[in-house]
Amino acid sequence: MEFPAILSESEVFDLASALEDISEGHISRRIDHDDLKPWFLQWYFTEHPTKADIASRLAIQAKLLGHEIDTTDLSIEPVPDKNWLEEVYQGLKPFNVGPFFIYGSHYNEAVPDGMIGMQIDAATAFGSGDHGTTKGCLQAMLDMKGKGHCPWNVLDMGTGSGILSIAAWKLWQTPITAIDNDAESVRVAEKYRDINGVNASAGGMTCAVGDGFQAALCQQKKPYDLIIANILAGPLIEMAPDVKAVCDELGQVILSGMLRTQAADVRAAYEAQGFTVDRQIDIDKWSSLVLLNK
């Protein structure tokens, strides 16, 4: 069902938690991935709930958050009995971004000659690689490689599945610090780091759970001459001073997770910190920015 656009991401999470004791999980997203449009929430149950119970729980939780919601579009529908994991896997065909060949564990053929293979499944952490924001970041790194840039210390903030850290390692074999505030994301990132044969030592890809740029590992290994952050426009804008504080004086930054309509606001936040925009990569509705610290 739909919920008001004015709800913040944290409020949507709190609202969804009203059903966590009776549901197996939920999905929440903005309609059309547009920050100005309403939220769509969907829960999954093993036992058939009643509309009255769900509506009551959501109304109470919304009131605690200072909102009122309309539950008239609430519906309960049966889920077909099928192997949903297999269904998802079959829909995830291998694809490439430049020389990167990205495939799931269900793919049993060899990586094509001359391609850089990365095995990434659709998982509990964001980032199987097929989203426009991830593709934009991969293209930005490939452009850097093509221009002869070789970073000596990389930070991947909000690493998700770890795909961008893994890609950076395969391009440059340089130290990568991968940070996320979600323990499940870090677990998944470490899993795919190992599956893809990435060095897990201090000179390879090091993962940690932490509070963004305040994470102990992030502070310990600064400054970084390449910082990658594929998150959301709002957090990207808020973290601009933190990015500046850990960026090498000649460093570069790759930002994504923003709609094209949000790119100007993100650019302005970083230009106010002294960064200059080197280029903008637009894929579908999404934008990625490459910034220079000068």
Same-domain check for residues 172 and 58: no
Residue 55 in any domain: the answer is: yes
Q: 21, 43, 64 — which closes off a domain?
A: 64
pLDDT digits (tens, 9 = 90+) for 29-55: 788 767 678 888 888 888 899 999 999
- Domain span holding position 43: 2-64
Q: What is the pLDDT of residue 175?
A: 97
pTM (two decimals)? 0.74
Q: What is the pLDDT of residue 84?
A: 53
pLDDT digits (tens, 9 = 90+) for 9-34: 778 888 888 898 898 877 787 887 67
Same-domain check for residues 56 and 129: no
Same-domain check for residues 180 and 280: yes
Whether the per-residue pLDDT at 96 is higher than 70: the answer is: yes
Same-domain check for residues 132 and 270: yes
The full DSSP string for the chain is -EE-TT--HHHHHHHHGGGTTT-SEEEEEEGGG-TTSPEEEEEE-SS---HHHHHHHHHHHHHHTT-----TT----PPP-S-HHHHHHHH---EEETTEEEE-TT--SPPPTT-EEEE----SSS--S-SHHHHHHHHHHHHHHHTT---SSEEEES-TTSHHHHHHHHHH---EEEEES-HHHHHHHHHHHHHTT---STTSEEEEE-SGGGSHHHHHH--EEEEEEES-HHHHHHTHHHHHHHEEEEEEEEEEEEEGGGHHHHHHHHHTTT-EEEEEEEETTEEEEEEE--
Same-domain check for residues 149 and 18: no
Residue 156 in any domain: the answer is: yes
Residue 111 in any domain: the answer is: no
Of the two residues 258 and 36, the one the predictor is more confident about is 258
**What is d(CA 244, CA 56) in angstroms, rounded to the nearest whole number?**
46
Same-domain check for residues 55 and 136: no
Q: 41, 64, 87 — which closes off a domain?
A: 64
Same-domain check for residues 169 and 23: no
Same-domain check for residues 142 and 57: no
Q: What is the pLDDT of residue 94?
A: 83
Structural domain count of the chain: 2
Closest CA to 231 of 217, 212, 218: 212
Same-domain check for residues 197 and 51: no
Same-domain check for residues 137 and 254: yes
User: Would you call 259 exposed, middle or buried from its count of C-beta atoms within 10 A (0-12, 13-18, 19+)?
Assistant: buried
Residue 261 in any domain: the answer is: yes
Q: 20, 38, 64 — which closes off a domain?
A: 64
pLDDT digits (tens, 9 = 90+) for 266-284: 999 999 999 999 999 999 8
Residue 284 in any domain: the answer is: yes
Residue 194 in any domain: the answer is: yes
Residue 112 in any domain: the answer is: no
User: What is the average pLDDT score of the chain?
Assistant: 89
**Rounded mean pLDDT, 114-131:** 71
Whether the per-residue pLDDT at 129 is higher than 70: the answer is: no
CATH number at residue 283: 3.40.50.150
Same-domain check for residues 44 and 138: no
**Rounded mean pLDDT, 169-182:** 96
Same-domain check for residues 152 and 283: yes
Residue 132 in any domain: the answer is: yes
